[in-house]
Every structure is written in C-alpha cells, then in structure tokens.
Amino acid sequence: MWTNWGGYEVSDIRTVTMLLALRCISVSVCYKDGATDPIKLSSRQQLMAIKHVPSIIEMTSYTFYHSQSTVAVMFEFKDFQRFIEMRGEYESIPSTLLPSLKLYCGGLIAAVINLAGERFYDMEIGYKSEFGTWSTLYQVYYIWIVFFVKRNFYYTPFLWNQASIVASGFGYNGLESGQEKWDKVVGTYIWDVETCTNLTEFSNKWNWQVA
C-alpha cells in the first residue's frame, strides 16, 4: 500500500478509512431498518431508522464532523441530524462551558501522567533482554505500570475529543433527575476500564461508541 504520495505522508490513512467505514456501515444498517416493519424493530432501532437516503452534504457532514474527525468515536446519523436541525433534546442546549472544561482538564491530567511516566519507565522494556532477568513479580508490577501510563496516552485524545463534542453541544443527552447529561458521545469510560476485572468488560468500555 502506498504510504507516501508526492512527499505527503499518508501512513495513518487507516484512521480516516475506519471513520468512513463505520459511518457507511451505520447508515446502511439504519437505512435497512427504515424499510423494515417497525413491529420487528426495537424502540431504539425505530428511533434511529433512516427513511430516506441522506444527501451528499448530509453524509459528508456526518462523516467528517469536526469534533470526531481524528478519533473514531461512533454516533448515529439520526442523532447528528437532530443536532444539526436543533430538534428534540437539542432545542434548548444548556451552557457547555463547565462540562467541556472538566473533560479538557481530565485530558490534560492524562497527558501529564503519560509524559511523566515515560520519563521514569521504559515503554519498550518488554522487547529487551534485560526484562527476562527480572523476577516474575517485578515483571508483572512493571508491565502494569507501563500499561497504565500508555493508556493515559489514549485517554488524552479521548477526553479532548469528547470535550470538543460537548463544547459544540452535540454531547448533550437531556436531563435525568433534573441533572444535565453530557454522555451522548463518549470515547471511553476511564473508571470502568481501570477497575474492570475481565477482558470482556474492558473491551466493552474501551472505545465505547465503537464497541
């Protein structure tokens, strides 16, 4: 596969391709639901069903929405359409300042943890012969720290991406018990990832919108 075109590096074309693939799959499934008897669909499928083929402008806007164009978070076309047209929960969006700043600060903390951790711990230690000379207990301890530090490398874009989505208003998910919810689009549930006890739970909470 070509990764350099006229001096322009495109080795990370996989990210853009993944975004496009996810959007196409989602719209295709929802369009099929739009042609299916509603009785056979769940309430959510009925809500997200697409009755008419999106226009080129709608599909392009949905695919390359600025707040998620670099991190492959997933959301439904109908949600995005309601946001653009300011319908449903988006008719009256509260101030996004504090919830977006909270997420931004969380991403900043994750960045500091990652940068500081990489100064004191070798992220490539598992590939070195030195690692094999350590005791099993110390290997487990060291790898646990390395993985934690490396996860924070990903928490930063996840949180900053979500902060951008919340700041735009798209992250608003209505009220629950009088409290504003800003979880319409979530990259990952950090607390659940850090406290899970099995790989299934981990994969379900990591890259949440895609999982």
pLDDT for 49 beyond 60 = yes
pTM: 0.81
Structure tokens that stand for 159 in this block:
């949180």
What is the length of the chain?
211
DSSP state of 128: S
User: Which tens digit of pLDDT belongs to each residue from 172-201?
Assistant: 998 888 899 999 988 889 999 999 888 888
User: Which tens digit of pLDDT belongs to each residue from 76-117?
Assistant: 899 999 999 999 889 999 999 999 999 999 999 999 999 999
Residue with tokens 């990652």: 114
Angle between helix 13-34 and 77-85 (nearest 10): 90
Q: For the beta carbon of residue 198, count every other beta carbon within 10 angstroms.
A: 8
Q: Cα separation of 33 and 45, whole Å?
A: 7
Give the CA distances from residue 141 to residues 120, 121, 124, 137, 187, in Å, rounded to whole numbers and listed in that order: 14, 12, 15, 6, 27
Average pLDDT over residues 23-33: 90
Average pLDDT over residues 19-47: 89
The distance from CA 133 to its chain's CA centroid, rounded to whole angstroms, is: 38
User: Which tens digit of pLDDT belongs to each residue from 5-14?
Assistant: 666 666 566 6
